[in-house]
Structure formats: structure tokens, C-alpha cells
């Protein structure tokens, strides 16, 4: 995962570079929570551009981070969904809750 | 008479979640004999990942056990069985419900079976409490149909 924080907008961009499954998600979750807590961003954006595989572990990851960011007063959005990532998010219904954005 | 292409493979590994990637890549490599397109291959990988994750975190609850995969190719269909000797599923109908999970504390979404069912043509679940669970999934690889005549032509050559 690559982290970028834009101070002016208090925007935290977390670019996931791993495949997302139950194994990999543990590390991604830990690192994302660490960065969110550290920067206290107004908005967190998860960038999926480099995600070549995601199963349902990705749904739990995003819902969990959404709750965590909200608890700390921030928003959460997702960006650059690949076709297969979008299909899984769509199936879960989280696209009704979490906005897809451009970065 | 036209001979139907058949092939078979078996895989066993211990129930560590780091083996999920190994399992789905191995099955995808085997399935690529059917000439699937990228989307079909992704469907198979995702369904295998869900089934294997279920065995590891629900079946064995992260204790050590053996996960078995048995794949059969017949014609343009692949059958994938994922089985464990874990604790079994108490209520299969409920487990299949979208968003139902017994482990929300682990951020499980309860979408595993829904994904398997929508990415594969058919999913059957056999489970006995205390004995284990076997998931049988089938998928017809459609892109093969268009290339079949081409293969026959190559055989004639």
C-alpha cells in the first residue's frame, strides 16, 4: 500500500498495491488504520488502480475503514475501480453508501 | 465419435490463509486448459478464494487442518470441489444468505456464498456438523466453444 497525504485538503490517499484476500487484508487493514489515526484526514480515498484481485475480504475492509474514518470525523471514498472490483462492490450494495470518486 | 477432453487434479494444503493465493492460482492454471477469457478466469479465482477462505476461517477457525481441492475437466466444464474436515455449517441456507456472517467481528461481509453462486454456474454445499464441509462448484467455460473447431482443425493437421 502506498500512502499520500495532501496537507492542504487534509486528504489521505491509500493506494492498494496488493491482491485483496483474507490473508493480505490483515496487513492492509492494520496499515490503513494506522495512517488514518496518524493523519486524521477529512477524507480518505482508497485507490484500486493496482488491484489485480479482490474477493469478499475487500468488502469488509472498506466497510470497516468507513466506520473507522467516520468515527474520527472523516469521510471515505473509493477510486479507480477495475471491472472485477466494481462487480464485487456492486453485489454487496456498499456503492449505495460509499461514493466512487476520481483522483 | 468425438472424444471429450477430460482431465483431473487434486491439491492438498494446510489451512493457512497465506495459501489462498496459491490455491486460486493453481486452480486457475489448471482451468486455463479450457481457454477461458480473463473474466471467466477471474470468476473461477474469486470463487475458489471464497471457498478456501471459508474452510480456513470458518471450518477450521484458524486451527490447523487440511483443505482439499479436487478439479475435474470434462468437455468445456470445470468442476471444483473444495473440502475440509472442519466444524461444519450449522445452517447452510442461512450461510448462503447475502450479508449473513457468524464472524462480523473479523470484518467478514457474509458475501462469500453469494459471490460463489453468481460467479459459477452451480454451487452445491454438503456439510455435516463436526465432520466437515464440501463445496462443489461447476462452470462451463464459454469462450472454449468458439475455439473448439479451431482445435479440431489443428488435430487433423
The whole-number pLDDT of residue B155 equals: 52
The whole-number pLDDT of residue B157 equals: 44
Look up the pTM and report it.
Answer: 0.91
Residue B54 annotated among the catalytic residues of the structure: yes
Domain that holds residue B101: 6-156
Q: How far apart are CA A55 and CA A73, in angstroms?
A: 28
- Measured from the Cβ of residue A38, the count of other Cβ atoms closer than 10 Å reads 11
Answer whether A19 sits within 8 Å of B39, measured CB to CB: no
Q: Please give the average per-residue pLDDT across A8-28, as a whole number.
A: 97
Tell me which of B20, B24, B40, B50 is the catalytic residue.
B50
CATH number for the domain harbouring residue B49: 3.30.565.10
B-chain CB neighbours of A84 within 8 Å are: 39, 42, 46
Answer whether B20 sits within 8 Å of A88, measured CB to CB: no
ipTM over 0.90: yes
Answer whether B111 sits within 8 Å of A57, measured CB to CB: no
In a domain, residue B1? The reply is no
Answer whether B17 sits within 8 Å of A91, measured CB to CB: no
Residue A88 has pLDDT above 90, yes or no: yes
Averaged pLDDT of chain A? 96
Q: Is A59 exposed, middle or buried (0-12, 13-18, 19+ CB in 10 A)?
A: buried
Tell me which of B24, B54, B76, B81 is the catalytic residue.
B54
CATH number for the domain harbouring residue A76: 3.30.750.24
Q: How many domains does chain B have?
A: 1
Domain that holds residue A89: 2-101
Residue B138 annotated among the catalytic residues of the structure: no
Beta strands (DSSP E) in chain B are 6-14, 66-74, 77-84, 122-128, 132-140
Pick among A30, A32, A57 to test the B interface (most B CBs inside 10 A):
A57
A-chain CB neighbours of B112 within 8 Å are: 56
Per DSSP, B59 falls in state I
Identify whether the C-beta of residue A31 lies closer than 8 Å to the C-beta of residue A12.
Answer: no
The whole-number pLDDT of residue A76 equals: 98
Answer whether A60 sits within 8 Å of B57, measured CB to CB: no
Q: Please give the average per-residue pLDDT across A68-94, as a whole number.
A: 95
The whole-number pLDDT of residue B53 equals: 96
Nearest residue, CB atoms, B111 vs list A21, A53, A59:
A59
Closest-CA residue of chain A to B98: A92
pLDDT digits (tens, 9 = 90+) for A64-73: 999 999 999 9
Nearest residue, CB atoms, B42 vs list A21, A56, A84:
A84
CA distance B124 to chain A (A): 19
Residue A94 has pLDDT above 80, yes or no: yes
Q: How many domains does chain A have?
A: 1
Answer whether B20 sits within 8 Å of A21, measured CB to CB: yes
Give mean pLDDT in consecutive 10-residue pieces for chain B, a chain of 157 residues: 90 97 98 95 97 96 95 97 97 91 88 96 97 98 62 50
- Measured from the Cβ of residue A83, the count of other Cβ atoms closer than 10 Å reads 9
- The stretches of B17-74 forming alpha helices (DSSP H) are 19-31, 38-53
The whole-number pLDDT of residue B45 equals: 98
Identify whether the C-beta of residue B137 lies closer than 8 Å to the C-beta of residue B122.
Answer: yes
Amino acid at each position: 500500500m502506498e500512502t499520500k497525504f495532501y496537507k492542504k485538503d487534509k486528504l489521505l490517499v491509500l493506494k492498494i498495491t496488493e491482491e485483496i484476500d483474507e490473508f493480505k487484508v490483515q496487513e492492509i487493514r492494520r496499515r490503513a488504520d494506522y495512517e488514518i489515526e496518524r493523519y486524521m484526514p477529512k477524507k480518505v480515498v482508497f485507490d484500486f488502480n493496482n488491484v489485480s484481485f479482490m474477493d469478499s475480504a475487500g468488502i469488509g475492509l472498506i466497510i470497516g475503514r468507513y466506520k473507522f474514518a467516520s468515527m474520527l470525523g472523516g469521510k471515505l471514498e473509493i477510486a479507480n475501480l477495475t471491472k472485477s472490483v466494481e462487480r464485487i462492490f456492486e453485489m454487496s450494495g456498499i456503492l449505495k453508501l460509499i461514493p466512487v470518486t476520481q483522483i | 465419435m468425438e472424444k471429450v477432453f477430460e482431465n483431473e487434479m487434486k491439491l492438498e494444503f494446510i489451512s493457512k490463509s497465506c495459501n489462498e493465493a496459491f490455491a486460486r492460482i493453481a486452480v486457475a492454471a489448471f482451468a486455463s486448459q479450457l481457454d477461458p477469457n480473463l473474466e471467466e478466469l477471474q470468476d473461477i479465482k474469486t470463487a475458489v478464494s471464497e471457498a478456501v477462505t471459508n474452510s480456513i476461517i470458518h471450518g477450521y477457525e484458524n486451527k490447523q487442518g487440511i483443505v482439499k481441492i479436487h478439479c475435474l475437466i470434462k468437455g468445456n466444464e470445470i468442476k471444483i470441489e473444495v473440502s475440509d474436515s472442519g466444524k461444519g455449517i450449522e445452517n447452510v441456507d442461512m450461510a448462503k444468505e447475502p450479508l449473513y456472517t457468524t464472524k462480523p467481528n473479523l470484518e467478514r461481509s457474509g458475501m462469500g456464498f453469494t459471490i460463489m453462486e453468481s460467479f459459477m454456474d452451480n454451487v452445491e454445499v454438503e456439510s455435516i456438523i463436526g465432520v466437515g464441509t464440501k463445496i462443489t462448484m461447476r462452470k462451463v467455460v464459454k469462450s472454449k466453444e468458439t475455439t473448439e473447431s479451431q482445435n479440431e482443425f489443428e488435430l487433423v493437421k
